Copies of this chain bind each other. A is one copy, B any other.
Amino acid sequence: VENNDTVLAQELVNPLHNADIADLFELIGEDERAPLAEALGDLVSADVLAEMNDYVREDLIEVLDAGQIADLTEQLDTDDAVAIIEDLEDHEQLAVLAELEPEDRAAIESALTYEEETAGRIMQREFVAVPEHMMVGDLIDYLRKNDDLTTEFWEIYVVDPAYKPVGTCQLSWIMRVPRDIAVADIMKREQTLIPADMDQEEVALRFQKYNLISAAVINDDGRLIGMITVDDILHIVEDEASEDVLLLSGAGEGDINEPIRDSYVARVRWLIANLATALVASFVIWTFGAAIEQMVALAVLMPIVASIGGNAGTQTMAVSVRALAMNELTRSNTRRIIGREFRIALLNGGTIAVLVGIGTGLVFANPLLGIVIAVAMLINIVIAGFAGIFVPVTLDRMDQDPALASSVFVTMITDTMGFLAFLSLAVGSGLVNF
């Protein structure tokens, strides 16, 4: 479509929602994006850019100069503007900031003083705050008169003279009472205030737990400085939850629009780490080389012990990582959860041990080999259960992301212990002489 007829392309794209136009850019190949942007012209508005994937947006913005970027960001709320500017190189950031109107520049510079992924970065500075004594009627008149207020708000904040939030009022509550009621009489005093330096994952958990639509952000002095709305939180919840699946596998950001070189660097690191841990398992096998030479069936069966142990460990680990992320696994119930996983491991281990033991005994016509692999299987699945909890919990206590690297450690433990249990039992039981 886009290689010849710009008028047709514009007509096709015009009725689409901004988010759909952004999607279109994400779907097509890298080399087609610049021509499409050119063909669409003004249809690629600031709002379309705000909806776009970071990597795709960077591609498009690269060709713009600082003045053009500044013009685009001035049309957005602070949170969206910050999201675009924070991804720029340092010198570009300075150039764009210099082009902004003083007021916008101050807002964005102050947002950039907070760490990435904190409340201060994701909040918007456009919100409605009113004093306690205000009447509902006056509030409605105030809203009607002030054209420069933010267009999207769902709750208003009631503040004391020091600009500290004392309550929150849903718009629906305001519309349902007569004009002569004070906002202080209908507001909810029980509030969830968000400190500006709170991690965005923690902010998202608050929104989920208390079913919030918006929340007031306060600075160190407790003064109201911004607002976070639930639509931004929706993206954070999605990102943080899918981060786990990607971190566990060591796939980096896992964005399909990430440059190949970045994906390579992110992934190969974990493959090399995996290589190092696989060496430990190989070393165990090496020390039992003579046993394997005597009975090659051991080499045939080894992968079964390791593979099922690894799977059992991954199951427990997935459960622990989720529970940690949801704040459901805390110091107070760790012991109960360990007991729970231990019992599940015994049941799973028992079942698999019986199946594998009988199968092996029959196929190899060797009952002792069946018993050896059954016991090794049970031991490895129980170890897997403990490893699946201890590794993520330990990482969490060390203030690391429990999803990161858990997988590599757990698999190393189950591989190594599986081989060790199986081969040493084979030797210890007299199945092979060593």
* A292 contacts B285, C-beta separation under 8 Å: no
| Shortest distance from the beta carbon of A209 to any chain B beta carbon, whole Å | 5
The distance in angstroms between the C-alpha atoms of A143 and B172, with both chains bound, is 9
CB-based contact B351/A268 at 8 Å: yes
* Chain B residue nearest in CB terms to A301: B282
Flag if B27 contacts A275 (CB, 8 Å).
no
Q: A256-B319, A286-B300, A336-B29 are in contact. Are A308 and B175 (CB under 8 A)?
A: no
| A234-B234, A245-B248, A249-B317 given; A143·B352 CB < 8 A | no
Complex-state Cα separation, A339 to B206, whole angstroms: 41
Query: Do B317 and A256 touch (CB < 8 A)?
Result: no
**Residues of chain B within 8 A of A209, CB atoms compared:** 19-20, 23
Nearest residue in B to A178 (C-beta to C-beta)?
B144
Q: Which of B234, B248, B275, B337 contacts A230 (CB 8 A)?
A: B234
A 276-313 contacts with B by CB, 8 A: 277-279, 281-282, 285-286, 289-290, 292-293, 296-297, 299-304, 306-308, 311-312
Check B296–A292 contact: CB distance below 8 A: yes
What chain B residues lie within 8 Å of A268 (beta carbons)?
A: 347-348, 351-352
Contact with B along A381-408 (1 / 0, CB 8 A): 1000000000000000000000000011
Q: Does A151 contact B (CB under 8 A)?
A: yes
Which of A19, A172, A212, A304 has most chain B Cβ within 10 Å? A172
Question: CB distance A264 to B348 under 8 Å?
Answer: yes
Interface centre among A19, A23, A190, A237 (most CB of B within 10 A): A237
Take A27-B333, A237-B241 as given contacts and tell me if A282 and B300 are in contact as well, using a CB distance cutoff of 8 Å.
yes
The chain B residue sitting closest to A270, CB to CB, is B311
Q: Are A355 and B242 in contact (CB under 8 A)?
A: no
Query: Which of A38-46, A86-94, A320-328 is the contact stretch?
Result: A320-328
Known: A234-B237, A249-B315. A279 touches B304 (CB 8 A): yes
Contact between chains at B285 and A300 (CB < 8 Å): yes
Which residues of chain B come closer than 8 Å to A263, judged between CB atoms? 340, 344
- Interface on chain A toward B: helix, strand, loop, or mixed SS? helix
- A325 proximity list for chain B (CB < 8 A): 242
Closest to A155 in B: B154
| Shortest beta-carbon distance from A266 to chain B in Å | 9
A356 within 8 A of B: yes
* A175 contact from B143, B233, B234, Cβ within 8 A: B143
Nearest chain B CB to A168's CB is how many angstroms away?
Answer: 13
Q: Contact between B307 and A415 (Cβ–Cβ < 8 Å)?
A: yes
CA distance in complex: A299, B302 (Å): 9
A424 within 8 A of B: no
Contacts of A355 in B (CB 8 A): 272, 275
**Least Cβ–Cβ distance between A251 and chain B, in angstroms:** 4
B308 touches A275 (CB 8 A): yes
- Given A292-B299, A304-B278, A307-B274 in contact, is the A143-B246 Cβ separation under 8 Å? no
| A418 CB to nearest B CB, Å | 10
Tell me if A250 counts as interface (CB < 8 A to partner B). yes
CA distance A278 to B356 in the complex (A): 11
Q: Chain B contacts of A314 at CB under 8 A?
A: 249-251, 407
How far apart sit A154 and B173, CA to CA, in the bound complex (Å)? 10
Q: What residues on B are CB-neighbors of A272 within 8 Å?
A: 351-352, 355
Given the complex, which residues of B lie within 8 Å of A254, measured CB to CB? Answer: 318-319, 322
Is B300 touching A303 in the complex (CB atoms < 8 A)? no
Nearest CB on B from A323, distance (A): 5
List 20 additional A-B contacts (Cβ < 8 Å) besides A174-B175, A303-B303.
A19-B210, A27-B332, A28-B333, A144-B176, A171-B175, A242-B325, A242-B326, A245-B245, A245-B318, A251-B315, A251-B316, A256-B319, A260-B343, A267-B348, A268-B351, A271-B308, A271-B352, A271-B381, A285-B300, A285-B303
- Chain B's nearest CB lies how many Å from the CB of A39? 18
A340 touches B274 (CB 8 A): no
| Interface membership of A231, Cβ < 8 A | yes
A329 to B23, CA, bound (A): 11
